[in-house]
Amino acid sequence: MYRLLAALCRTVSVPHAYARNASDWVKQCMSYIRQHATEGMTVQQAARAAGMNRTYYSVALSEKAEIPPSEFITQARMESAKRLLAETDASITEVAYTTGYSSLYAFTGTFEN
């Protein structure tokens, strides 16, 4: 059903009034990611929450937001980590686990990049 809908969406020209809805969809997706990124969320989970398959979601969000969802999730986690490090006395290990990383090694590797 989703594939059929996606195919129809690609073949139908979208009136200007609906262009705003695409922007709203992107904002909603990004807001959802910001809210849940520290829970160890994956692109698959974000796509499921949006009611789409992972591939279509990744392509559509990358195209409209100009950033792949996986990178946006990482950015949201890092913003949260920076805020925690600056505003709390939490250790780096605590911040790593709080922001959804499964290990300190994974966190530090991402944080350094």
pLDDT one-digit tens code per residue, 37-82: 989 899 999 999 999 999 999 999 999 889 999 999 999 999 999 9
Q: Is residue 23 a contact partner of residue 14, using CB atoms and an 8 Å limit?
A: no
pLDDT of residue 18: 39
For 82-113, letters b (16+ CB in 10 Å) and e give eebbeeeeeeeeebbbbbbbeebeebeeebee
Is the pLDDT reported for residue 5 higher than 60? no
Task: Identify the CA nearest to 23 among candidates 14, 11, 12.
Answer: 14
pLDDT of residue 53: 92
Cα separation, 90 vs 39, in Å, equals 17
Cα separation, 78 vs 70, in Å, equals 12
pTM of the model: 0.73
pLDDT of residue 73: 94
